[in-house]
Amino acid sequence: MAKTLEFWFDFASSYSYLSAMRVEKEAADRGVDVVWKPFLLGPIFAKQGWTSSPFVIYPAKGRYMVQDIKRLADLRGLPFVLPKEAPARSMLANRIGLAVLDYEWGVCLCKAIFQAEFGEGLDIADEAVLGALIKQAGQEPATIFEKALSADNKQKLKEQTAEAETLGIFGAPAFITPEKELFWGDDRLDQALDLIAGDR
Amino acid sequence: MAKTLEFWFDFASSYSYLSAMRVEKEAADRGVDVVWKPFLLGPIFAKQGWTSSPFVIYPAKGRYMVQDIKRLADLRGLPFVLPKEAPARSMLANRIGLAVLDYEWGVCLCKAIFQAEFGEGLDIADEAVLGALIKQAGQEPATIFEKALSADNKQKLKEQTAEAETLGIFGAPAFITPEKELFWGDDRLDQALDLIAGDR
């Protein structure tokens, strides 16, 4: 069976930033390929009765999350700035992510979006922010926006979100092995990769 | 400053089992002392609007928790059996834990309670189960129950729970450093210990 890890994320997810910044390297070190799978946390949270992020609904958890990610980011030499608008309205970014992952440079743009959001604290709901990142990736923003906002792409993101739910995903980041085993959270990335690589 | 880790737990907490089984060794390896601090998750969950465990309220999360702990327990060579009554009504066990941690053998009994619950799937709400464990620890159950159910001990557990909330604790296990820094979850035990030991 192919040694492939599915990396499921929503650009609004702060812990997904931690994984996005290291999943490629960790996977490559073990000879595993990564498939990036954006999906919408909103509908999945809504089914759990949440109208916002759990970090907003449960303030003690929200305060802890910032402290926890800051500590982990420090250990990894990563910048971390929680954007003023957190969680970000990530629909457009998720649509763009899905649209560009067809291309070789798509992963690079996805990482740039996460980096702008949580490394610099920019608001990824802002079209100007996303447009600038697309340009930096050497692409034409108008073309990418058009593809991202096409009926086909919107539908595909809905379907991918439904697939996430079917897989048992209830938060992000989530990792799925070729045998459809679910691992949740940046904390479980190494364990999922070890399983796929056959190192355990 | 003393190199001491506070290990905050509720006997109902499945992830606390994972930490209880390794905290002593991990701490000793780094020259850190451990202070065991039982508290009541119930009142803290109630303030978050939960009338039960999040693993009951959010079934997808509950199913994942069992799978996740099973995998971790396997990696660590630990048995894991989710009790039929999960989460257990842990009030009596928590009161006993608090009462016996004054004694040198207290930690050993606390570990035996966790082991009976999550290693064998026994119901720790059952006085007979707890009585047998107390006997196995070489103690007289009647004496321990009396101490556990004393007004003083009940009050002390309430105060310890209030202290947990003040420390920002919103789930278990939680770890507190001498500088009152909070780490949440078995995943963060090593990080908390490294910080205290000065190894990072």
**Structure confidence at residue A51 as a pLDDT band (50, 70, 90):** confident
**Chain A touched by B52 (CB under 8 Å):** no
Helices (H), chain B: 14-20, 23-29, 41-47, 54-57, 59-75, 91-100, 106-114, 120, 127-136, 141-148, 151-166, 189-197
**Structure confidence at residue A52 as a pLDDT band (50, 70, 90):** confident
**Chain B touched by A52 (CB under 8 Å):** no
Residues of B54-74 as b/e, b for ≥16 C-beta within 10 angstroms? bbeebebbbebbeebbebbbe
Residue A27 token pair: 């996977």
pLDDT of residue B11: 98
The C-alpha atoms of residue B85 and residue A96 are separated, in whole angstroms, by 46
Test B75 with A170 for CB contact under 8 angstroms: no
The whole-number average pLDDT for the span A51-63 is 84
Is pTM, for the whole model, over 0.90?
Answer: yes
Test B182 with A64 for CB contact under 8 angstroms: yes
pLDDT of residue B55: 80
Residue A88 token pair: 């970000």
| Cβ atoms of residues B171 and B8 within 8 Å | no
Question: pLDDT in tens for each of the 200 residues of chain B?
Answer: 689 999 999 999 999 999 999 999 999 999 999 999 999 999 998 888 888 887 888 888 899 999 999 999 999 999 999 999 889 999 999 999 999 999 999 999 999 999 999 999 999 999 999 999 999 999 999 999 999 999 999 999 999 999 999 999 999 999 999 999 999 999 999 999 999 999 65
pLDDT of residue B128: 98
pLDDT of residue B37: 98
pLDDT digits (tens, 9 = 90+) for A62-80: 999 999 999 999 999 999 9
**Chain A touched by B61 (CB under 8 Å):** yes
Instruction: Tell me the pLDDT of chain A averaged across its residues.
Output: 95
pLDDT of residue B200: 52
The C-alpha atoms of residue B128 and residue B141 are separated, in whole angstroms, by 9
Report the residue of A71, A188, A195 to disrupt the B interface, i.e. the one with the largest count of B CBs within 10 Å: A71
Provide the ipTM.
0.89
For residues A81 and B200, the model is more confident at A81
**Chain A touched by B50 (CB under 8 Å):** no
pLDDT of residue A1: 65
pLDDT of residue A200: 52
* Interface contacts (A, B; CB < 8 Å): 46
The C-alpha atoms of residue B175 and residue B186 are separated, in whole angstroms, by 9
pLDDT of residue A56: 82
Strand order of the sheet with strand B33-38?
B33-38, B4-9, B174-176, B182-184
Q: Which of residues 136-165 of A touch B (CB under 8 A)?
A: none
Test A168 with B71 for CB contact under 8 angstroms: no
Residue of A nearest to B181 (CA): A67
Amino acid sitting at position A156: K
**What would the DSSP string read from start to end of chain A?**
---EEEEEE-TT-HHHHHHHTTHHHHHHHTT-EEEEEE--HHHHHHHTT-SS-HHHHSHHHHHHHHHHHHHHHHHHT------SSSS---HHHHHHHHHHTTSTTHHHHHHHHHIIIIIT---TT-HHHHHHHHHHTT--HHHHHHHHTSHHHHHHHHHHHHHHHHTT--SSSEEE-TT--EEESGGGHHHHHHHHHT--
Test A67 with B191 for CB contact under 8 angstroms: no
Considering only CB atoms, B64 lies closest to which of A58, A60, A184, namely: A184
pLDDT digits (tens, 9 = 90+) for B43-87: 998 888 888 887 888 888 899 999 999 999 999 999 999 999 889
pLDDT digits (tens, 9 = 90+) for A126-147: 999 999 999 999 999 999 999 9
Sign of CA dihedral B165, B166, B169, B173: negative
